[in-house]
């Protein structure tokens, strides 16, 4: 079964409808609907909330691991915790070091948390001394991580070899923002103690980072996002835009000039900041191709674009240059079963290289 099938199965097993699960988990009904339809997978934060609401582990939701193997391991884990709690500090330290050694983990930053976001904050605050924008090459020097370019022959965009403390970056990947996110993600795998694989891939051939069902990948992506767009800086910038109908033109300036990240990843971060108000949609060939939304129930992937949308206008008259169109549209242009008088502010930008559009939708007075 997939993530969506496990969510549906456990929800029905508990006798909950989507609205009841949303309330119990602290999420919104549109988000539950999107997870169960497979439009997108839940973020790591959402997985934590769903696992608690459904009385299962995150590992079960992601991989289906449960049952006999879990029932054998779980008591042992509890016993190990009891033993650890009763040891003195010196013996605890030795046990931790032995565990790290067995797992192949080098404790290069001497910091511990169970939340990937906290690792990102620690790195930004303590290792980088809050220097911004983030320079992943400076960070790699501080943790003795070697970065080399090579021909990965399409296998992935980058590979982390943990035992060698080395990242190999595919020589064909040259876009600054893409390189930055790839390196930040693999650094996350290196620093998070329970990421115990010897090798980690970034954008492995044929795999989607957005639709991944691998917990380690979700956590490393969460680390990278929070590292390169630190919350304390991001919140100040976005609070200045809170009362406005936000334009991709303004966000592109911030993404390019201040954060040095891609416009798409910056827009996705905006949604994390306010899940009720924003949504991001990619389109090409007059169809929706990808959705990143919090609580806004956007029409499904592969749905035809509404002719009243700015994205449709841009794709109808494609040029050789990047072009922006924006303005107020009726909410039913993008949302199924929208309220009759609900309006959205649509800001869409055309990318001539891929003959596609990126759209940011803002709920008005929301």
Is pLDDT at 309 greater than 90 in this prediction? yes
Q: What pLDDT does residue 207 have? A: 65
The distance from CA 347 to its chain's CA centroid, rounded to whole angstroms, is 22
Q: Sorting pLDDT into bands at 50, 70 and 90, what band is 209?
A: low
Is pLDDT at 30 greater than 60 in this prediction? yes
What average pLDDT does this structure show over 28-40? Answer: 84
Q: Say how many residues make up the chain.
A: 366
Is pLDDT at 102 greater than 80 in this prediction? yes
* Across 125-139, 204-218, 311-325, least confident range: 204-218
What average pLDDT does this structure show over 335-341? Answer: 85
Cβ neighbour number for residue 260 with a 10 Å cutoff: 17
Q: What pLDDT does residue 173 have? A: 93
* Across 93-97, 204-208, 233-237, 297-301, least confident range: 204-208
Own/partner long-range contacts of 300-308 (Cβ < 8 Å, ≥24 apart): 300/37, 300/39, 301/39, 306/332, 306/333, 306/334, 308/333
Is pLDDT at 185 greater than 50 in this prediction? yes
Is pLDDT at 250 greater than 80 in this prediction? yes
Q: What pLDDT does residue 204 have? A: 85
Is pLDDT at 130 greater than 60 in this prediction? yes
What average pLDDT does this structure show over 32-41? Answer: 84
Q: What pLDDT does residue 72 have? A: 44
In the chain, domain spans = 3-63, 116-228, 232-363
Q: Apex CA 364: angle with CA 295 and CA 333, to 5°?
A: 70
What average pLDDT does this structure show over 133-140? Answer: 97
Is pLDDT at 217 greater than 60 in this prediction? yes
The domain made up of 3-63 is a member of CATH 3.40.50.10470: no
The distance from CA 283 to its chain's CA centroid, rounded to whole angstroms, is 20
Q: What pLDDT does residue 365 have? A: 66
Beta-strand (E) ranges in the chain? 146-150, 158-161, 166-170, 199-202, 278-284, 287-293, 323-330, 343-351, 356-363
CATH code given to domain 116-228: 1.10.10
What average pLDDT does this structure show over 257-280? Answer: 88
Global pTM?
A: 0.79
The pLDDT tens digits of the residues spanning 116-125 come to 999 999 999 9
Is pLDDT at 244 greater than 80 in this prediction? no
Q: What pLDDT does residue 243 have? A: 66
Across the chain, what does the average pLDDT equal? 89
* Across 12-21, 23-32, 310-319, least confident range: 23-32
Class of domain 232-363: alpha beta
Cβ neighbour number for residue 235 with a 10 Å cutoff: 11
């Amino acid at each position: 079964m997939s993530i969506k099938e496990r969510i549906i199965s456990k929800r029905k097993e508990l006798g909950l409808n989507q609205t009841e699960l949303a309330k119990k988990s602290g999420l919104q009904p549109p988000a539950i609907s999107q997870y169960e339809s497979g439009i997108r997978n839940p973020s790591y934060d959402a997985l934590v909330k769903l696992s608690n609401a459904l009385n299962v582990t995150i590992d079960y939701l992601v991989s289906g691991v449960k049952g006999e193997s879990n029932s054998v391991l779980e008591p042992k884990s509890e016993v190990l915790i009891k033993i650890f709690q009763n040891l003195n500090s010196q013996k605890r330290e030795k046990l931790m070091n032995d565990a790290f050694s067995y797992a192949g983990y080098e404790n290069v930053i001497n910091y511990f948390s169970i939340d990937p976001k906290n690792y990102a904050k620690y790195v930004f605050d303590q290792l980088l001394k809050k220097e911004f924008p983030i320079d992943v090459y400076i960070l790699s020097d501080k943790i003795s991580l070697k970065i080399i370019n090579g021909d990965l022959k399409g296998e992935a965009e980058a590979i982390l070899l943990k035992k060698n403390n080395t990242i190999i970056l595919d020589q064909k990947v040259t876009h600054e923002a893409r390189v930055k996110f790839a390196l930040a993600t693999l650094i996350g795998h290196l620093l998070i103690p329970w990421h115990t694989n010897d090798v980690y891939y970034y954008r492995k051939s044929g795999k989607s980072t957005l639709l991944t069902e691998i917990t380690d990948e979700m956590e490393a992506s969460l680390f990278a996002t929070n590292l390169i767009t630190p919350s304390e800086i991001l919140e100040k910038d976005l609070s200045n835009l809170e009362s406005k109908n936000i334009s991709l033109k303004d966000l592109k300036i911030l993404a390019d000039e201040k954060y040095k990240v891609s416009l798409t990843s910056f827009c996705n971060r905006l949604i994390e900041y306010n899940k009720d108000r924003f949504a991001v949609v990619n389109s090409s060939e007059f169809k929706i191709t990808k959705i990143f939304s919090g609580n806004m129930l956007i029409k499904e992937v592969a749905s035809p674009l509404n002719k009243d949308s700015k994205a449709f206008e841009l794709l109808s008259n494609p040029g050789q240059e990047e072009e922006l169109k924006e303005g107020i549209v009726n909410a039913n242009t993008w949302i199924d079963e929208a309220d009759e008088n609900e309006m959205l502010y649509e800001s869409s930008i055309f990318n001539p290289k891929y003959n596609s559009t990126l759209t940011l939708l803002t709920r008005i007075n929301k």
